[in-house]
């Protein structure tokens, strides 16, 4: 059994099964499903799995956020559903959703080498700036080639990834990229004396130097060597021709004729029409954004930086990143990526503030890896594990990131390499030796960190500090309160979060929801076992003074018919606090794809004046869990803060 077999099986079942999956792709942290029926996806069950950060429908897809090991999970799922579903089908989608899907599928496979190339460029800049290398040194030439090769041959690399995305033979995609970047194309097709200028007098005026059988060839002066958008459209066009030819040419001749005719038809049409049009389109987009920045750098930068983190949640941030890469490849520098650079540091700052302020052990455990991931610009763990759970935390991260990003943009610091996260500072070093951008980026990041951290830290503190006193007294007389202790070990949350509506709506009484980590139900007080279901999945206990508690292990586990449960006590048995009542095999239950959410409720809640529930975090066996106010008299909250939920 592979490492991710269990998780991949769980995901397949909870997106509606193999037959419900039309197609699948992935980006850096999330699986992206195209489904026949999105209503079949069990979102609550997916979110309960500790190996899944979150799940949602967004951007025309069903997204399951896994983390940086998503590629391994993707491979495991494909082994079960079939490799033919590795790319979404051409189901009807909005133009925006289709563009985002294409960008995701084309850019994601090269992000690793793109970051590696950027780091090499940064290393070269540092060595040159420090005087350890000269531009005439052999080591300089080699390192420069290592850092710049991806941009010089971008269409070749994107030809491959685009072909994979459009179900075209990747070899054809590679050769198409190689043809449009073939040495000498610029010298022979875009230099010398122009024979005509098309669209003269407009912003798209294009001189023509050569013809193709009498048809003017509009070849860009800089060539296609560093472009992004043209090759994607060209390969898309090639895929349509290729698929048409496959359906028309007999199989016995297809091996040679299909690629021959695909290339023969694609390249002339691409160089004469598709390339020039898409090149103009990319220039128009770039110029429009430049104009917007020129109109108001501060306002535009702030808006772009502010919306970036919400776009990450929806998986809609790729167009911004692609525009940044387009600028890097065409001009050697970019002004969009610097605006987004601070987002990951803002998320890290919020996570750090939560770590120092929260009383919940589980939240602290989540915060540490989320903080480290954010430093390397993988912000999904921080978003879904910490900041998005309390909406204002996410807002503080947005504000901090936007203000810091705006500062960097306002002072004109461009990036010269596609490196992000903690190593990304080297991207602000200008190859000509200028280092002011590096200083500006450091200041901008510090601004984001300080703002995000302080807002989270101070407001969190103001919210929770008055409510974490060990006792809250009311000036009333009476019998006071009774403490109920935990029958389980694990993480707890509000009962209203239960996926079983009967428990979530309080129909069976007030209580709390457990996600067990132990393998027993123990007595929460001295009393009697009043009910043990024959299957052992649920038990009712009554205290010596009449408090009635129900513990229901897992959801729908009655269907297991007692498998994985062992009753240690029977109805009518007397028990002492902490004494084991039922044993269960938690891992086996999870492998059977049953939810382990376990409601613990006081079934006779209506007999008491008030029931105060521990908020959230990790609870061990026999820890204080519930405080029952026996009448209108004095009440003492549990020492961890009662119904409080940190800074919510």
Would you say how long the chain is, in residues?
648
Q: Which residues partner with 56 through β-bridges?
A: 63
Active-site residue, from 27, 317, 377, 537: 27
Question: How many angstroms separate the CA atoms of 567 and 562, rounded?
Answer: 9
- What sign has the CA pseudo-torsion 14, 16, 17, 23? negative
Query: Is 243 among the catalytic positions?
Result: no
Find the Cα–Cα–Cα–Cα dihedral 419, 423, 429, 430, rounded to 10°: -20
Question: How many angstroms separate the CA atoms of 352 and 346, rounded?
Answer: 10
Q: Which of 239, 256, 63 is nearest to 159 (CA)?
A: 239
Question: How many angstroms separate the CA atoms of 441 and 121, rounded?
Answer: 17
Active-site residue, from 26, 317, 537, 552: 552
Give the DSSP H/E element, type plus range, for residue 566.
Answer: strand 565-567
- At residue 217, φ and ψ (nearest 5 deg) are -100, 115
Query: Is 552 among the catalytic positions?
Result: yes
- Residue 193 CA, distance from chain mean position: 52
Give the DSSP H/E element, type plus range, for residue 438.
Answer: helix 436-464
- At residue 296, φ and ψ (nearest 5 deg) are -160, 95
DSSP 99-155: HHHHHHHHHGGGHHHHHHHHHHHHHHHHHHHTTS--TTSHHHHHHHHHHHHHHHTHH
DSSP 52-101: --EEEEETTEEEEE--TTHHHHHHHHHHHH-GGGSS-------HHHHHHH
Other CB atoms within 10 A of residue 71 CB: 16
Beta strands (DSSP E) in 189-232 are 196-198, 206-208, 210-212, 215-217
Question: How many angstroms separate the CA atoms of 595 and 556, rounded?
Answer: 8
Which residues are known catalytic residues?
27, 552
């Amino acid at each position: 059994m592979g490492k991710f077999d269990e998780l991949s099986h769980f995901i397949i079942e909870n997106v509606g099964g193999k037959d419900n999956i039309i197609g699948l792709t992935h980006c850096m942290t999330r699986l992206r499903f195209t489904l026949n029926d999105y209503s079949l996806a069990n979102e609550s069950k997916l979110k309960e799995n500790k190996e899944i950060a979150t799940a949602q429908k967004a951007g025309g897809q069903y997204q399951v956020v896994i983390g940086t090991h998503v590629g391994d999970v993707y491979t495991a799922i494909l082994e079960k559903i079939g490799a033919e579903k590795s790319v979404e089908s051409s189901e009807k989608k909005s133009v925006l959703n289709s563009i985002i899907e294409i960008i995701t599928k084309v850019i994601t496979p090269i992000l690793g080498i793109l970051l590696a190339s950027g780091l090499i460029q940064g290393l070269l800049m540092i060595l040159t700036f420090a005087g350890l290398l000269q531009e005439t040194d052999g080591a300089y030439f080699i390192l420069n080639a290592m850092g710049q090769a991806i941009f010089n041959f971008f269409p070749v690399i994107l030809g491959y990834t685009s072909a994979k995305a459009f179900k075209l033979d990747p070899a054809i995609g590679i050769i198409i990229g190689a043809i449009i970047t073939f040495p000498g194309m610029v010298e022979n097709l875009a230099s010398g004396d122009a024979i005509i200028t098309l669209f003269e007098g407009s912003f798209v005026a294009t001189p023509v130097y050569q013809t193709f059988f009498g048809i003017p060839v509009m070849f860009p002066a800089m060539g296609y060597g560093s472009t992004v958008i043209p090759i994607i459209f060209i390969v898309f066009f090639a895929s349509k021709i290729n698929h048409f030819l496959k359906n028309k040419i007999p199989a016995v001749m297809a091996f040679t004729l299909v690629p021959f005719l695909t290339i023969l038809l694609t390249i002339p049409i691409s160089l004469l029409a598709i390339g020039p049009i898409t090149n103009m389109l990319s220039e128009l987009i770039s110029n429009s954004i430049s104009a917007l920045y020129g109109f108001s750098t501060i306002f535009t930068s702030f808006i772009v930086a502010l919306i970036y983190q919400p776009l990450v949640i929806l998986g809609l941030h790729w167009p911004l990143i692609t525009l940044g890469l387009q600028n890097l490849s065409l001009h050697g520098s970019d002004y969009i990526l610097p605006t987004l650079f601070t987002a990951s540091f803002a998320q890290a700052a919020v996570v750090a503030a939560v770590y120092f302020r929260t009383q919940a052990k589980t939240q602290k455990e989540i915060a540490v890896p989320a903080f480290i991931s954010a430093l390397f610009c993988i912000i999904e763990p921080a978003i879904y594990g910490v900041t998005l759970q309390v909406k204002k935390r996410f807002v503080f991260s947005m504000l901090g990131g936007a203000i810091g990003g705006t500062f960097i943009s306002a002072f004109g610091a461009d990036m010269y390499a596609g490196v992000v996260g903690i190593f990304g500072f080297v991207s602000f070093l200008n190859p000509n030796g200028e280092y002011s951008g590096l200083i500006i980026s450091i200041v901008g990041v510090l601004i984001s960190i300080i703002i995000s951290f302080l807002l989270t830290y101070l407001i969190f503190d103001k919210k929770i500090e008055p409510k974490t006193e060990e006792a809250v007294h009311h000036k009333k007389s009476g019998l006071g309160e009774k403490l109920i202790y935990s029958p389980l070990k694990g993480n707890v949350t509000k009962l209203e979060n239960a996926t079983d509506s009967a428990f979530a709506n309080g129909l069976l009484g007030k209580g709390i929801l457990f996600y067990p980590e132990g393998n027993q139900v123990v007595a929460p007080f001295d009393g009697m076992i009043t009910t043990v279901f024959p299957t052992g999945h649920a038990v009712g206990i009554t205290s010596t003074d009449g408090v009635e508690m129900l513990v229901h292990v897992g959801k729908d586990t009655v269907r297991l018919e007692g498998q994985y449960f062992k009753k240690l006590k029977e109805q009518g048995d007397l028990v002492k606090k902490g004494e084991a009542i039922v044993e269960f095999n938690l891992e086996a239950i999870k492998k059977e794809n049953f939810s382990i959410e376990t409601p613990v409720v006081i079934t006779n809640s209506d007999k008491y004046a008030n029931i105060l529930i521990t908020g959230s975090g990790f609870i061990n066996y026999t820890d204080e869990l519930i405080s029952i106010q026996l009448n209108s008299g004095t009440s003492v909250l549990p020492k961890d803060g009662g119904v409080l939920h940190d800074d919510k």
